[in-house]
Structure 1
Amino acid sequence: MNIPAGGALRCAVFSVCLWAGAACAVPITFQTTGSSVQTYFEGQPLASARSRIDGLSGALDLTRDAPVLANYFKLFAGTGPADESGMSGIQYRTHALSMTVMGVTRSFEVDIGMQEIANGQYQLYRFDLPTLTFDLGATGVLTVTPDANRTQSVQFLANTPLYHFRDVRATFELADPLVTTVPEPGSLALTGLAFVALQAMRRRRAAPLCRN
């Protein structure tokens, strides 16, 4: 198993933190990929709506079993004019998305429903994003759980241009690795250096004061 030097040092320092009973923050980077613009009611002369999901990049410092809430997608939505003759039916469009965490990628789809309703408004319906799990080896297992408060149904006015409608966020939680891995010699050396540094810090803190 080839581990980049930075990754090996991160794992080594984290191992020493666990050994010493300390809670260490682990840097986790992620990137999400969004969808193209999806158009609704194309066969109808008046009603129209559009939606798009954009991805973003992020970096978090995570401590095991300490969830952190962060944005990971952006939802865009817009509408055409109101059809005064009546309401349209609900239409759904599929958005293809993906998320990559430290080289591990998960691809998935989400269906978003739109409908023209009364009083010159449209409704964007609640949508379901999956909970994602990433096995990051010695770093641990990351679970990304979408925040249901950001996927609820909402009404908005007709004649609205496509705009940044809502940030979509999730809870990021890091847990212990699935399998205990055997460190390579380079990782052991880094672990030793980190442990020596930790012991030196403890000795300095515990050194007695000189008395005359």
Structure 2
Amino acid sequence: MRRRRLKSRFSISTREVENDVSHKSGYQAGYDLGFRFGKEDSQRSFDGTSIIVLAHSPNESIIDTIQKIEALTPHPYELLVADAGSSETTRQYIIQRTGIVRHILARNDEGIISVLNKAALVANGKKIILLAGGSPNKDNWIEDLMVELDSEASINAIYANTTWMKDINSRLHACCLLFRTELLADIGLWSEDVPTLKECLSEWLARIPQENRIIMEDFDSIS
């Protein structure tokens, strides 16, 4: 695993995916769907970034996060909200933004990991950013992440943590992830058999060889 301390500088149809995910779970389901996505859905991709925001608590400031992304992120990008428990106010706001924000909503008893997998499968960008905690706070906040990802051909993923995550034991925990979409075909989606989101993200990152991933510590562009 490589480490970076941030220097101070400023197709598969949705219905088909839902049916597959509802009847299969865990790593094998993630791998199978990720493989199909990589093989069959490449023609829909655009040369930009899909930003996935996780919403799994009615107390989260998802509206604020959406507004900050739109204010601080250069195009081209698309914005998806993987929603497994946001407030009614947040959902109404997203509905009003239909066409700008893609709303991937949980059905029945689906949890946040299941909805995250659905969002990843319908993402159209050649790169994916997953925001797992916090909101961007600096203009062009993804530039540092992109520079690291493109620094070497062998690098498959960048993950970042912040100063407020120092009490977390796992070195693989992250507030955001950046990776090329085809990585899903190589290592699969996120396992629904892992009990918590934090553990799920750590398990997914651990599938990537250490030499192919970089951690950015004290990443202060997310707060």
* TM more than 0.5: no
Larger RCO (CA under 8 A, 6+ residues apart): 2
TM-score by length of 2: 0.21
Name the structure with the higher strand share: 1
Q: Compare CA radii of gyration and give the structure with the larger one.
A: 1
TM-score by length of 1: 0.21
Name the structure with the higher helix share: 2
